[in-house]
Chain A
Amino acid sequence: MYKEICTKYAPTKDNLISILHEIQDTHPQHYISVDAVKAVSDYLKVPENHIYGVLTFYSMYSTEPRGKNIIRLCESPPCYIKGSENILRKLKTILGVNVGETTKDGKFTLELCACLGVCGNAPVMMINEDVYGDLTEEKVEDIIEKIRGRN
């Protein structure tokens, strides 16, 4: 399966970041496993340690299995002054997890991130590919409930 993704790209090192994106996005647990790193290393002829170096440098990648829905709450100054800390507290309470953890049912992983570039609607979070802005504690509860129901 990893091989299939790799072969969509030319076997040159500059495609590493794109390949890792696709592997992570298509994995049900949104992460890059040891096996995936080996497969990419074989394909690109790039040492595994280089790939780990890249994986751990960029904040969008994870080397640990994650939930079905990745929540990324912005903690940069524009969201911070609009009360992102309250939103974080609320998320922790509803989900019963700390930052970096996944709920027991595997549905949500809570993460913090830097500016998402939607500051006109601060505070903002992304859940998978969707942006949610102008967050309030009530709104957050609704959003999470809706996604829970959908899954």
Chain B
Amino acid sequence: MKYYRSHVLVGINETSIAAGVEPFLKALRAEISKAGLADEINVLETGPLGFFGKGICLTVYPENLNYEEVKLEDIPELVNEHFLKGRPVSRLLLDTTGTFSPKFNYENRIVLRNSGIIDPESIDDYIGAGGYEAWEKALLEMQPMEIVEEVKASGLRGRGGAGFPAGVKWSFTAPIEAPQKYVVVNADEGEPGTFKDRLIMEGDPHQLLEGVMICSRAVGATKAYIYIRGEYKLCIMRLQKAIDDAKNYGILGTNIFDSGFDLDIEIKIGAGAYVCGEETALIESLEGNRGHPRWKPPFPGVKGLWEAPTVVNNVETLANVPFIIAKGADEYKKYGTPECTGTKVYTILGDVAHPGLCEVDMGTTLRTIINEYGGGMKKGFKFKAALVGGAAGVILPDRLLDVKMDFASLNQYAAVLGSGAIMVMNEHQSVVDVLWSIMRFFRHESCGKCTPCKTGTQQLYRLISKIKKGEGTMDDVDTMLLVAETMQQTSFCALGQSPIMAIRSAIENFRDEFIAITQK
């Protein structure tokens, strides 16, 4: 193996590809060779780097410096100054580097531990980082029920939004005798403001596969599907490569590691429907139907895909599993709070200094996440509110910023952790306006199966449009609450049951704004 003085990690993701990272890499390597540094500086292509700079981003080790928005014309300066003379080019540095938060990039990571460090397209890199050890252990040393018990003991809760304990979900399916069982990965990420699953899949696709494998073994499924939205081209490409490589290595396929266990994983592409994030709607879509949710019970764990017992889990949930199996439930429980163990991946966006993603312990306060990981408010802006959990989330004001971000604590505020999206609004933005945009979203995404949601979302949009135009009254505001409450009680699935959260939190926390606009 060759030793290099320095490693330059180049993040390859949707953003950097759009910014022209391919010609950039070529030029960077050429310039490094030209400077005679080819044996000293190693350029590595990796996934998202774990911070969200603009354009093409680089991380340089051992200094651990982050550059953002590096352009072709910056290459000579970068190579000459930093790589040759050891003087970082300060004008290109992400301005958080080494200044505002020493914790930056050193979060307690489980799900993202390899992201931005290994080459996501290399199975050898993943194995080198300890990958597939948990799979080997689960397959050769553990009985299926032992795996289920370990995951149960870890306290891992579903990261898709509802927070149902994963081990409990598995324990419904595992004991059922059936000719065929399935595992389905919900990668149809569609909650506005959420892109954590995309970055998990782009950054470390093998970790997700390993989670799927362990889950399949635990519940006795020999076929797994990854249902992924059609827009996530890079994820689809990387996951497919990961599956192919795993098959070539005998990690996936028939009689894996001579254990007698067979497993096949297949990618299925969605076609653009928010409601398909609901697990039974997702199953309908997999079967080639309109994505209408099904009546529950029976739950998918008993009767799911083609009526077979099916475990549906979110990407992030499954990406936690290899760690739990490799290190044990006790080690996992060291992260987070006693009721909500582990870490959570958040996407922070809006008017913060550094929009992006972070992985922190469950129970970290909203204030810490925004200030330390999002870099605080963008210069010149004041905090007004945060929309937490996407469209199916809540709007929280300043005084609730110290709320702990975990399933149990948020419940006290009738809020949900949801998908982990945190959208920060500045003092000039109108809560009414944001609520309008959320209602427009729900109106568009209602699947039309049940009347409360179909007509309710239309009525909510009509009312908020009237209020937004300054033609509404406080009666209209109350009517919105009534409609949304009725929907919560009578809608068929979580989609129709969700608008109440944004509406109630907006009206309760920002009542003055509604009063002002209706009296205009």
Measuring CB to CB, which residues of chain A are less than 8 angstroms from any residue of chain B? 12-18, 20-21, 46, 50, 53-54, 57-61, 75-78, 80-82, 113-122, 126, 129-134
Contact = CB atoms under 8 A, between A and B. Distances in A.
Given A76-B391, A77-B437, A81-B425, A115 B233 contact: no
14 contacts: A17-B269, A17-B288, A21-B269, A57-B291, A58-B273, A59-B271, A60-B230, A61-B271, A77-B423, A81-B425, A81-B437, A115-B192, A118-B195, A122-B349
B18 A15 contact: no
A75 B391 CA distance: 12
Interface string B125-146: 0000000000000000000000
A14 B288 contact: yes
Nearest to B267: A18
Contacts, number: 136
Contacts of A130: 18
B299 interface: no
Nearest to A134: B54
B230 A21 contact: yes
A15 B288 contact: yes
Contacts of B356: 120
A65 B481 CA distance: 41
Contacts of B268: 14, 17-18
- The dominant DSSP class at the A interface is mixed
A76 B440 CA distance: 8
B391 A54 contact: no
A46 B272 contact: no
A116 B433 CA distance: 21
B394 to A, nearest CB: 13
Contacts of A60: 230, 271-272
Interface string B1-37: 0000000000000110110000000000000000000
A131 B441 contact: no
B270 interface: yes
Nearest to B274: A114
A83 B228 CA distance: 28
A115 B357 CA distance: 17
Contacts of A20: 271
B18 A129 contact: no
A133 B192 CA distance: 15
B14 A77 contact: no
Interface centre among A14, A50, A114, A120 (most CB of B within 10 A): A120
Interface of B: 14-15, 17-18, 52, 54, 189-195, 198, 229-233, 268-274, 285-291, 347, 349-350, 355-357, 387, 391, 421, 423, 425, 429, 433-434, 437-438, 440-441, 444-445, 447
A131 B55 CA distance: 12
A57 B273 contact: yes
A118 B230 contact: no
A21 B229 CA distance: 12
B353 to A, nearest CB: 12
Q: Which 10 A-B pairs have the closest CB atoms?
A: A58-B271, A76-B192, A16-B288, A59-B272, A13-B288, A60-B272, A117-B195, A57-B290, A115-B192, A80-B437
B441 A114 contact: yes
A132 to B, nearest CB: 6
Contacts of B54: 121, 134
Nearest to A22: B269
Nearest to B48: A120
B270 A17 contact: yes
A76 B441 contact: yes
Given A17-B269, A20-B271, A120-B347, 20 more contacts: A13-B288, A14-B286, A16-B288, A17-B268, A17-B270, A58-B271, A58-B273, A59-B271, A59-B272, A59-B273, A61-B271, A75-B440, A75-B441, A77-B441, A113-B272, A115-B193, A119-B195, A119-B423, A120-B355, A131-B14
A41 B99 CA distance: 62
A114 B445 contact: yes
Contacts of A14: 268, 286-288
B231 A117 contact: yes
B346 to A, nearest CB: 12
A81 B190 contact: no
B14 A46 contact: no
Nearest to B391: A77
A119 B271 contact: no
B113 to A, nearest CB: 21
Nearest to B55: A134
Given A17-B288, A54-B288, A118-B195, A78 B350 contact: yes
A53 B288 CA distance: 11
A5 to B, nearest CB: 14
B18 A131 contact: yes
Contacts of A118: 14-15, 195
Contact of A77 (B192, B269, B272): B192
A119 B349 contact: yes
Nearest to A59: B272
A34 B460 CA distance: 36
Contacts of B423: 77-78, 81, 119
Contacts of B189: 117
Nearest to A78: B193
A102 to B, nearest CB: 19
A79 B211 CA distance: 33
Contacts of A116: 231
